[in-house]
Amino acid sequence: MPVHRDRRLFELLVLEGAQAGLSWSTILAKRENYRRAFARFDPGKVSRFGPRDARRLMGDAGIVRNRLKIESTIANARAFLEVRREFGSFDAYLWAFVGGRPMQNRRKRMKDVPARTALSDAISKDLRRRGFRFVGSTIIYAFMQATGMVNDHLVTCFRRRQLAGATLRAK
């Protein structure tokens, strides 16, 4: 489903970055721990985390204890707030890349679903320019799928048809 709430977009961006190099099931199993550890994904609170918080998080067995991923979450919260100041919301910034409407792909087989696209390359590049980390093109394409920016359900999937009409701003 299309996601438009900023806090939820931040959550999905953090989780996609944390998943890099790991299985998605590993991150899903730790999702509640991430919510607890990262102030329920409140970017304002996470942006104020300092070295003491980073050390605390490195000792938290409930999340992926990767220093670079933890530090990137804190840095990304700060960059997220900057984007929000510039565009009014992260939602407005992000969805402008697709004209405010989910892209409706017509994939016939799973092997037709790409790991990245020219659009995910462009979003990744712009995010990195703005100071975001762990936002490579493959991560961003998965994020686009998770947030409903792209509908990659196969043409034979019942969900594809349901989501094809889900272009309203569900808040």
pLDDT digits (tens, 9 = 90+) for 65-104: 999 999 999 999 999 999 999 999 999 999 999 999 987 7
d(CA 104, CA 97) in angstroms, rounded, equals 14
Residue 1 Cα distances to 126, 150, 167, 168, angstroms: 24, 10, 8, 10
Residue 104: phi and psi, rounded to 5, are -105, 95
The DSSP symbol for 61 reads T
Find the mean pLDDT for residues 31-48: 98
pLDDT tens readout for residues 108-161: 777 877 778 999 999 999 999 999 999 999 999 999 999 989 976 556 665 656
d(CA 126, CA 136) in angstroms, rounded, equals 11
How much is the pTM?
0.90
d(CA 164, CA 36) in angstroms, rounded, equals 34
Residue 20, pLDDT > 80, answer yes
Structure tokens at 74: 């804190």
**Is residue 60 very low, low, confident or very high in pLDDT (cuts 50, 70, 90)?**
very high
pLDDT value, residue 45: 98
Determine the 3-state secondary structure of 139 from DSSP: helix
For residue 4, give the nearest of 152, 156, 148, 160 by alpha carbon: 148
Position 147, amino acid: T
**Is residue 10 very low, low, confident or very high in pLDDT (cuts 50, 70, 90)?**
very high
| 75, 133 contact by CB (below 8 A) | yes
pLDDT value, residue 111: 81
Residue 12, pLDDT > 60, answer yes
For residue 87, give the nearest of 149, 6, 16, 2 by alpha carbon: 6
Q: What is the dihedral of CA 95, 27, 60, 46, to 10 degrees?
A: 0
